[in-house]
C-alpha cells in the first residue's frame, strides 16, 4: 500500500511515522520550503505521549521537553485546585514546536518528505487516488491523508463549503524568550484573569520561557501585537502579585510576538471518502483554550495507520476511522464548550481538568 500525506505539521509527520512503522510506504508533501513550526511552545498530554511511546519516540521526546503542570490561579494570584482530580490530570510535557518538528521529520526520514510541494487537487477512482501538485506534477497513491491544517485544501475538495471560521473575538499572543537578567523563573504560572483573559508562562527545558496571553471576546485590536499582549496581561494581575509576565513580554522583540486570530473547523458530517481521509486540524481545528489540538490530532494519525494496516481494504479502514472519530470529537467539542462557557475561574478550572481527565483516560 502507498500513502500520501499532505502537510508536514505535527499530525502529518506523526501519521507518516505510524504508517511507515506499520509497513505502509508513505511520502509527505509539504507546501512550505522548510519544515516550519510556528507557535513557540506546545503542551503534550499523556495521551499524546502514549502515541509517541508506541512509535518508539517517547524517550527522545521527553529529552526535549520539560514536565509541567496545568493549575490555574485567579487574577489575585490565588491558586484554584479542583478537589476531585488527581495530580496526573494536570500534568503535561512542554516542548518547543520547532524541536518537536525536527525530531518528527528525522523519524519520518527527510528523503520521504517533499518540500515546496503543495497539493492543489486530487482525482479518486476505484483503484487509486491521483494527487495534483502545484507546478503540474501528479502522484498516484492508494490513500491520501489530508493533514494540511485548518485551511485544508483536501477538506475543501472533500467537503466543499466547510471553510474554517473565526472564533469571534478570540485571540492568542505568545513567544518563547530568555528571561530578563535576574528574573529566574522556576515554575509555570497560568492565570484566569478578568475580561475573559487567560495567560501566563512556563519554563522550557533549555532555560527559555514560553509565555502566552489569550482572550475571548476581545475588543477590536489596536497597536502592535506586543502592546496588545501587554495590555491584556494587566487583566491577569490586578494586585501586583506577579511582575514576571509583563517583564517577559517586555523582553520579547516585537517581531517575535506571535499573534493569532483563533480559527475553528466546525464539526464535519464526513471525514473520509473511499480513498481520502482528514486528520488533525484539517478535520477539527479546536479552540486552544483546551491546549489539546495537537495532543488529540496525533491520535488520529496512529489510529488511521493501524486501521489501514489491519483492514481488508482502504475504504473499510477509512469508514472505521470515521465511525470512531466523529463521535469522539463530538464529545471533545462538548467538553471544550463547557470550559469556554464557564462563568467563574473555579468553574473554568474544574471543567478544564474534567476535559484533560477524560482525554488522558480514554
Ligand atoms: C495559540 C495556540 C496554542 C495551542 N497550544 C496547544 C497545546 O499546548 N497543546 C496542543 O496539543 N495543541 C495546542 N494547539 C493546537 C495545535 O497547535 C494544533 O492542533 C496542531 O498544531 C495542528 O497540527 P496539524 O499538523 O494538524 O496542522 P498544522 O500544524 O496546521 O500543519 C499543517 C501543515 O500542512 C501544510 N499545508 C497546508 N496546506 C497544504 C497543501 N495544500 N499542500 C501541502 N501542504 C500543505 C502547512 O504548511 C503545514 O505545515 C494550540 C493552538 C493555538 C492556536
Task: Choose one of 29, 31, 212, 276 to mutate for the ligand 1 pocket test, by most ligand atoms within 8 angstroms of C-beta.
Answer: 31
Which residue has a Cα nearest atom 35 of ligand 1? Answer: 7
Examine the domain organization and report whether 24 and 121 are in the same domain.
yes
Examine the domain organization and report whether 129 and 277 are in the same domain.
yes
Q: What does the chain come to in residues? A: 362
Examine the domain organization and report whether 158 and 54 are in the same domain.
yes
Looking up cell 471544550 gives 336
Say if ligand 1 is within 6 A of residue 131 CB.
no
Examine the domain organization and report whether 207 and 253 are in the same domain.
yes
Q: For residue 36, what pLDDT is reported?
A: 80
Given a cut of 70, whether residue 349 has pLDDT beyond it is yes
Distance from CA of residue 354 to its chain's centroid?
19
At which of 224, 245, 260 does a domain end?
260
pTM exceeds cut of 0.85 = yes
Say if ligand 1 is within 6 A of residue 10 CB.
yes
Q: What is the position in ligand 1's atom list of the atom closest to the CA of 279?
A: 26
Host domain of residue 128: 2-72+81-164+265-361
In this prediction, residues 171-190 reach a mean pLDDT of: 91
In this predicted structure, which of 36-40, 86-90, 95-99, 257-261 has the lowest mean pLDDT?
Answer: 36-40
Q: For residue 39, what pLDDT is reported?
A: 67
Report long-range pairs for 232-235 (Cβ below 8 Å, ≥24 apart).
232/173, 232/193, 232/195, 232/197, 232/199, 233/199, 235/75, 235/193, 235/194, 235/195, 235/197
At which of 231, 260, 289 does a domain end?
260
Percent pLDDT > 90 in the chain is 95
Amino acid at each position: 500500500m502507498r500513502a500520501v500525506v499532505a502537510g508536514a505539521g505535527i499530525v502529518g509527520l506523526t501519521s507518516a511515522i505510524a504508517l511507515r512503522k506499520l509497513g505502509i510506504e508513505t511520502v509527505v508533501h509539504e507546501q512550505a520550503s522548510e519544515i516550519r513550526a510556528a507557535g513557540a511552545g506546545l503542551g503534550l498530554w499523556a495521551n499524546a505521549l502514549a502515541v509517541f511511546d508506541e512509535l518508539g519516540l517517547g524517550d527522545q521526546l521527553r529529552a526535549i521537553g520539560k514536565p509541567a503542570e496545568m493549575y490555574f490561579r485567579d487574577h489575585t494570584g490565588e491558586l484554584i485546585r479542583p478537589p476531585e482530580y488527581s495530580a496526573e490530570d494536570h500534568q503535561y510535557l512542554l516542548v518547543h514546536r520547532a524541536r518537536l518538528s525536527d525530531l518528527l521529520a528525522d523519524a519520518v526520514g527527510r528523503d520521504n518528505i517533499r518540500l515546496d510541494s503543495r497539493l492543489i487537487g486530487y482525482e479518486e477512482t476505484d483503484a487509486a487516488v491521483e494527487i495534483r501538485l502545484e507546478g503540474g506534477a501528479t502522484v498516484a497513491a492508494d490513500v491520501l491523508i489530508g493533514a494540511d491544517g485548518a485551511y485544508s485544501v483536501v477538506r475543501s475538495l472533500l467537503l466543499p463549503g466547510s471553510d474554517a471560521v473565526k472564533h469571534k473575538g478570540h485571540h492568542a499572543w505568545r513567544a518563547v524568550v530568555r528571561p530578563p537578567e535576574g528574573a529566574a523563573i522556576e515554575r509555570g504560572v497560568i492565570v484566569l484573569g478578568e475580561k475573559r483573559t487567560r495567560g501566563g508562562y512556563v519554563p522550557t527545558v533549555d532555560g527559555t520561557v514560553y509565555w502566552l496571553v489569550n482572550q475571548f471576546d476581545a475588543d477590536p485590536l489596536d497597536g502592535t501585537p506586543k502592546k496588545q499582549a501587554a495590555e491584556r496581561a494587566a487583566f491577569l494581575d490586578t494586585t501586583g502579585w506577579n511582575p514576571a509576565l509583563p517583564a517577559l513580554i517586555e523582553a520579547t522583540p516585537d517581531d517575535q510576538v506571535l499573534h493569532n486570530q483563533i480559527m475553528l473547523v466546525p464539526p464535519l458530517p464526513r471525514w473520509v471518502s473511499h480513498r481520502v481521509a482528514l486528520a488533525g486540524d484539517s478535520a477539527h481545528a479546536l479552540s486552544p483554550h483546551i491546549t489539546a489540538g495537537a495532543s488529540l490530532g496525533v491520535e488520529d494519525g496512529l489510529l488511521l495507520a493501524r486501521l489501514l494496516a489491519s483492514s481488508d481494504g482502504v475504504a473499510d479502514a477509512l469508514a472505521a476511522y470515521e465511525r470512531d472519530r466523529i463521535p469522539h470529537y463530538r464529545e471533545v467539542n462538548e467538553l471544550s464548550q463547557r470550559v469556554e462557557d464557564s462563568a467563574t475561574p473555579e468553574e473554568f478550572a474544574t471543567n478544564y481538568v474534567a476535559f484533560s481527565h477524560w482525554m488522558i483516560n480514554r
